[in-house]
Copies of this chain bind each other. A is one copy, B any other.
């Protein structure tokens, strides 16, 4: 059975676990805050508390990056800020386009957290021609017609989609066609992309639904086992036919 270590054809260059990558920004934020307060060093215990994670997990996470700590002392804040920034690719400039200038697109354009982390808004784009030229967060809205040109001229590799669901796939296709290889999707749709393109999804409604699930559990605790009773109940006839299917799908 072997130890199951490096039996893969080394497809991914190093192999930092995805769960670790997702926590690096949290550590970076906590470290940045310490840095601003001129704290020189921090222990895994302190930093873990600030980031809201377990200290063993933090040390394991850092061990994937290298040995950046000093036993008996802790981690040098500035040094770690730099190393994590470098690992995340934040020491370089990332031009980003935001497509869809509704409320959410505008909110993102005005969000300060981007610029400070290497992300630069190359352009704001909308399909509505009457919006063209309007200033949002100091930038003129450009028409969707120019999308390919903008992506090409600015070497944009990251696109943010804040369009309605119906337009998202087409926008995505055009972004990818123009050379974008990472998509942050706020539209409530599953996007189909070719291999080599990353999509991350932020779905406001889904987050609330997950909260509702847990909230319901809390409320149900008073009654306890009522909900645990065996199911197989009928729906409240939301549709024309509440019965179990009798026909096969095409």
* A interface residues with partner B (beta carbon < 8 Å): 12-14, 21-22, 24-26, 28-30, 35, 39-43, 46, 50-52, 65-68, 70, 72-79, 81-83, 87-90, 92, 94, 96, 102-104, 106-108, 110-111, 113-114, 117-119, 157-158, 160, 181-184, 188, 190, 196, 198, 200, 202-221, 224-225, 227-228, 230-232, 234-236, 238-239, 241-245, 247-249
Contact of A96 among B79, B208, B228, B234 (CB under 8 A): B208
Contacts of A12 in B (CB 8 A): 217
Docked pose: A244 CA to B210 CA in angstroms: 43
Contact B238 A211, beta carbon cutoff 8 Å = no
Contacts of A181 in B (CB 8 A): 215, 218
**Smallest CB–CB gap between A111 and chain B, Å?**
6
Contacts of A29 in B (CB 8 A): 188
CB nearest to A76 among chain B residues = B245
Contact B89 A210, beta carbon cutoff 8 Å = no
Contact B208 A244, beta carbon cutoff 8 Å = no
**Smallest CB–CB gap between A33 and chain B, Å?**
9
With A73-B248, A96-B208 given, is the CB distance from A66 to B202 under 8 Å?
Answer: no
**Smallest CB–CB gap between A98 and chain B, Å?**
11
Contact A210 B13, beta carbon cutoff 8 Å = no
Contact A190 B50, beta carbon cutoff 8 Å = yes
With A107-B106, A232-B67 given, is the CB distance from A25 to B210 under 8 Å?
Answer: yes
Given contacts A94-B215, A158-B215, A202-B204, 18 further A-B contacts (CB under 8 A): A13-B227, A14-B227, A26-B190, A35-B238, A52-B190, A73-B249, A76-B243, A78-B239, A82-B236, A88-B209, A88-B216, A89-B216, A113-B204, A114-B205, A117-B208, A181-B218, A196-B218, A198-B211
Docked pose: A118 CA to B208 CA in angstroms: 10
CB nearest to A30 among chain B residues = B190
With A88-B213, A117-B209, A209-B25 given, is the CB distance from A40 to B108 under 8 Å?
Answer: no
Docked pose: A210 CA to B70 CA in angstroms: 27
Contact B89 A213, beta carbon cutoff 8 Å = yes
Contact A41 B117, beta carbon cutoff 8 Å = no
Contacts of A110 in B (CB 8 A): 102-103
